Amino acid sequence: MLSCDTFALGKKYYIENKNCLGKNSDRPLGEAQPIAFYPGGKHPAGEMLKCTHLTIPQAAHTYTVLGCRPYWIWGFEMGVNEMGLAIGNEAEWSRSDAEAEEGLLGMDLLRLALERAATAEAGVRVIAELLEKYGQNANANPLFDRRYENSFLLVDRDEIWLMETAGRRWIAKKIGDWAAISNCYSIGGEYDMASPDIETYAREKRWLRPDEAFDFAKAYSRSGRQSTALHRYRRQKKLIAAHAGPLDRAAMTGILRDHFEGEIIEPRWDSCAAMFPSICMHAAEWNGSQTAASIVCAWDDELGPVTWYAPSLPCLSLYIPVYWTGDTPAAMGKGEGTYDENSLWWQTQRLAMLVSADESRFGGAVRAELRKLEGEIAAGAEEAEQQARQLIRVGSRTTACELLAAYTRAASDSAMGLVRRLCESVSSEIRKDGGPYGTRKEFLEEYCARVGMPL
């Protein structure tokens, strides 16, 4: 299972002088990933918490969190808490000995860190403690048995930390400028925290020569698993480094919509039929991975965490702002394992699949309309945020939250309306042809039959 690309920008590299997290979550095809709030609070002694596969003791206090959650999983692919800590994770595969005991999913570890930690460094320590106690040997796929280890990018208001894990061992590094991660380890010999035996274990396994300097990525990586991840890791770094000055949100979403355009491995025919998994990842087979959701998240000193969420494939979707109001529109928080016409995730997924039937024919016009509305939503968000700031400054935070929640609902409704209209327009053209043609015909027919989605 190929999955995910994540990057974090320090204050000097994001135009608003804030730390910022961006991530594409790549998951099994047809796995809805809506976004929703989950309230925190105080918990009585002895309370237990049901995670995806394990039940563990609950913490005495948890923070309210906002996250993108695969419909059948307790944890998050990416999320943020009320303190401004945002985390994204990546699947990894190490040379560590396999475990038989069931553990916590990396997504569960991510959400637990958001619920229990106020800062990035504290989040590293929460994950480390839980990892050492429970391990991470857990199935992360609803269709097949797929297990992996994890890397995490943790971003708070002031710091960025990169944490990488191998079995129950871990290593972490504080990031000064920016970082990008994919499904390949990136911490070398410089780090700030780690399991006590992180180096001795590697040397006992003869993963390093006796006179060779310790390099975590080189020692622990399972080489065969990096064949496509390294390309995406380097592509993220190249796109970030190409900017002469700080990136803005449009530049970040542009990276998250990338398909290796202009590179030797760019798609042969179109982005929906890519031969190499790209940052915006399109599945070519039923058992493949595809981008299920995308976010850009940053802390605002007055508004709190501001998260821009795109359901399904970001290149055929649009980013909608979600503010710290405790409320997400019903359509944005809805979606399971089969098609639901009232789910924004499923409607956007349907549009992406329809366009992929003949991207050269439909893609340009569809993307133009999506980007037009996205621009209008962004402009309206600036106005709504300015009004909210004025209300907050005179002590009317509740009214400000109501205003922002209403704006997100309006943006969600506009997105749903456009996506539905585009779906019907493209579907009508395909029906006139008697069904789909082209390289993805059988794939689309099988996928639609499996999830009950009309083409």
| C-alpha to C-alpha distance for 73 and 349, rounded to whole angstroms | 19
Question: Which of 254, 311, 378, 258 has its CA nearest to residue 68?
Answer: 311
Q: What pLDDT, on a 0 to 100 scale, did the predictor assign at position 143?
A: 81
Q: What pLDDT, on a 0 to 100 scale, did the predictor assign at position 433?
A: 94
Q: What pLDDT, on a 0 to 100 scale, did the predictor assign at position 228?
A: 79
Q: Which helix (H) or strand (E) holds 88?
A: strand 86-92
Q: Any catalytic annotation for residue 4?
A: yes
C-alpha 270: how far from chain center: 23
| C-alpha to C-alpha distance for 436 and 211, rounded to whole angstroms | 60
Q: What pLDDT, on a 0 to 100 scale, did the predictor assign at position 227?
A: 75
C-alpha distances in Å from residue 31, one per residue of 52, 74, 135, 208: 15, 14, 25, 40
Q: Are 246 and 329 in contact (CB under 8 A)?
A: no
Q: Residues of the chain whose pLDDT is less than 50?
A: none
The set of residues, in sequence order, having a beta carbon less than 8 Å from that of 360 and lying 6+ positions away, is: 269, 270
Residue type, 247: L
| C-alpha to C-alpha distance for 455 and 440, rounded to whole angstroms | 12
Question: Which of 153, 135, 184, 137 has its CA nearest to residue 3?
Answer: 184
Judged by DSSP in three states, 86 sits in: strand
| C-alpha to C-alpha distance for 428 and 432, rounded to whole angstroms | 6
Q: What pLDDT, on a 0 to 100 scale, did the predictor assign at position 195?
A: 98
pTM flag (> 0.95): yes
Beta-ladder partners of 8: 21, 179
Selecting among 4, 20, 68, 448, the annotated active-site residue is 4
Beta-ladder partners of 289: 28
Name the DSSP letter for residue 159: -
